Structures are given as C-alpha cells and as structure tokens.
Amino acid sequence: MANRPQPRFPEPHTEPFWEGVQQGELRYQRCNEDCAEPVVFYPRHHCPDCGSDNLDWHASSGEGTVYTFSVVMQNRMPGFIDLGAYSVAYIDLDEGFRMMSSVVGVDNPVEDIHIGQRVRVEFEEQDEGEYPIPVFRPIQE
C-alpha cells in the first residue's frame, strides 16, 4: 500500500469531493446557470466561466481516456518512494472534465500505458489516513 499525502481540513471547496472518495464516488461540480462550460473541476466555490456560486455536485461514471502521461522513474519523496516507476497522467473523464492522477495495474508503465487508452477509476487505500486516492486502471476490452 502507498502512503500518499492526505487532504487537510477544514477545506470547504474540496470537502464534498473527499467525502465522495470515502464512499467510492468520483465527484465533480456542474454550474446551474446557462454558461458555456457547465462542468466544473477541480472543486471550487464559483463557476470559472460565469462566476456563479450556483453549483451542484454529481458522481462521475469514473470512466475516461488517457489524455497524456509521463513516467516517474526515480523519486525520493516520502509516500512515493516505494512505488518504483509510476505514471502521472491526465485523464479526460466521460463527463467532460480532465483530472490529474495515476494509471495503475500495469506491469511496465513505460510500455503498457498509451494516449487514448480507456481507464476506470478505483480508490487506492492508504497505509495512513482516512481518504483513499482516486487512481485509474486500464479497462480490458
């Protein structure tokens, strides 16, 4: 198990996101106004398009596509050092938002991850801390 950094509360803008993670949900916000970009992610208090604070939380299907990625080969940062080579990826979720995470469950992240690959969220429990971390696993087709 990993021991990645945990959120620190009180943090009113992201707390509903982390509550969802505890329940196995990947949550995002939608603006209830008639604006050009109704999907809001990362969590925040106001819509970045129209400035409204009329936002609702929704649960994502958790499926998406690898937009881009990089592989970290060496890391001395506590919480990551035991991972060995690992990916840092941007995932385009089907609901229309992009999220930074990691693609897991591959033998070799250099060879087994590719742009356009379909992935599904899962929640990685931590050795310490109460919040699992959303990571993505390739969907076997």
Nearest to 65 by CA among 39, 38, 90, 86: 90
**Are the beta carbons of 105 and 126 closer than 8 angstroms?**
no
The band of 126, judged by pLDDT with boundaries at 50, 70 and 90, is confident
Residues 86 and 112 in one domain: yes
* Paired tokens of 88: 């840092």
pTM of the model: 0.88
Residues 27 and 88 in one domain: no
**Are the beta carbons of 66 and 89 closer than 8 angstroms?**
yes
The average pLDDT across 26-37 equals 91
**Are the beta carbons of 23 and 50 closer than 8 angstroms?**
no
Residues 73 and 136 in one domain: yes
pLDDT at 2: 62
Residues 86 and 30 in one domain: no
d(CA 97, CA 59): 12
Tokens 């506590």, residue located: 78
pLDDT at 5: 72
Q: In a 3-state reduction of DSSP, which class is residue 131?
A: coil
Give me the domain span that covers residue 52: 7-59
**Are the beta carbons of 59 and 121 closer than 8 angstroms?**
no
